[in-house]
Structure 1
């Protein structure tokens, strides 16, 4: 007589399942932690970006920073002759500038200004307008004068078309001269000074020859300021 074993609830009495076929239960705890940390990091990053943006907006609204305004107010050209025998340009030109600070809360330090003069896309002179010797601070809502003196001679290679343009300007008594200025400036708000900024200024000028009494006087020219 065969003894009957009691039935155990939940027990499995079938053939043994090989380990390779046994169900595997994956634990997603590590992945959940990574997702949670990434979400927290992303929220912090977005919050910081928003706060920085708000700080910049508030600063802009309160301070209202503006670029300086730059003009050529006077131009005197007493010599501008090109010797075709040795390709030498002899020149003598004086330019007076004004720089206007329109800001109500910012003053400007002009640490360095260099002016380059071009004719027919060819540079023929340069001049240090501002150096460490004559650098200055421009206060709020004020205007200051600067002067550039271009005098001397330089070997420049002008082609036939450029020489023809030069002769035409000479006959008309007005020369198309392009001046580019390189700045190194700093801003000051209260007792806080900014780092260096290096804007460029471009001036397209029509400069009358001073000894020609038939031409009109030089007209004040506003220059383009590019930060």
Structure 2
């Protein structure tokens, strides 16, 4: 075979190889783009599902941005919502996370422990029930209420709290606790009566237990505070997200 023919065959083979390479690269590019588009579509669908879930909650209807809405209307709605939140905050600083009821009244030390303390020294037990806010309102509340040597809950609770109103762990720590920030971002406790061993003992003042205009210290309210809220986590999440939304919008 002549050199001229050999060069033509070589050129043909090279052209064929390049053509195959172009086809392969085109196929790879096609599937890559398809995969990316599919991923974006799935992510968009997931976001829409999440947005729909939030929109089902009345409170979050005001927070979900919709691409179908006119931008001017959306801006006006967000401005109105922000003004509402600012008005609430201006009335009472950090009001979103504070309590509205007294601490849960139960024997947090356990009924057996409180009954033993009573039997061991009734005079000392009665003195603690009538003078120690933590002992009376959260540690042995139920046993103190049943013991004849103590004053009635409604008659003594408010004065005990007023005489011992402080934050055991300081204003900075308790500010984070009340506002669900830092380590408390996903907390399972709150100021609102369902975690007295944390809220009342540690952050009594910041949680608002000394605000007698808001918190009514009656035995009925203290017992009601013990009732477990099945949807309590929803309220904590709502409060935390409301604060985060406010912090993002404010200049």
* TM-score, shorter chain, exceeding 0.5: no
Greater fraction helix: 2
- TM-score (normalizing by structure 1): 0.30
Please identify the structure whose Cα radius of gyration is greater.
Answer: 1
